[in-house]
Structure 1
Amino acid sequence: MTNEQETNFQDENPENFDQTSAQGSTEELSLEDKLQQDLATANDKYARLFAEFDNYKKRTSKEKIDLIQSASKDLLNKLLPVLDDFDRALAATQTTDDVSSLREGIELVNHKFRKTLMQEGLKEMENIIGQPFDAEFQEAITAIPAPTEDLKNKVIDVVEKGYFLNDKVVRFAKVVIGQ
Structure 2
Amino acid sequence: MNKNKKSENKNKKSEEIEDKEVQSNEALEEQVEKPEKDEEIDFQDKYMRLYAEFDNFRKRTMREKAELIGSASSDIMLQLLPLIDDFDRADANATDDAKALKEGIDLIRAKFVSTLNSKGLKAMDAKEGDDFDLDKHEAIANVPAPSEDLKGKIVDIVEKGYMLGDKVLRYSKVVIGS
Q: What is the TM-score when the length of structure 1 is the normalising length?
A: 0.91
2:146 is paired with a residue of what secondary structure? coil
Moved more, 120-129 or 144-153: 120-129
1:76 match: 77
CA distance in 1, matches of 2:70, 2:22: 71
- The 5 A counterparts of 1:26-175 are 26-93=27-94, 96-175=95-174
Q: Contact conserved, 1:92 with 1:102, CA < 8 A, in 2?
A: no
1:50 is paired with a residue of what secondary structure? helix
CA distance in 1, matches of 2:92, 2:85: 11
Q: Contact conserved, 2:143 with 2:176, CA < 8 A, in 1?
A: yes
CA distance in 1, matches of 2:107, 2:125: 21
Q: Moved runs in structure 1, 4+ residues, more than 6 A?
A: none
| Structure 1 spans left out of the alignment, 5+ residues | none
CA distance in 2, matches of 1:177, 1:91: 44
Question: Identity across aligned pairs (percent)?
Answer: 47
Q: Which amino acid aligns with 2:177?
A: G
Q: What is the TM-score when the length of structure 2 is the normalising length?
A: 0.91
RMSD value, Cα: 1.7
CA distance in 2, matches of 1:178, 1:90: 43
Q: Contact conserved, 1:142 with 1:175, CA < 8 A, in 2?
A: yes
| Structure 2 spans left out of the alignment, 5+ residues | none
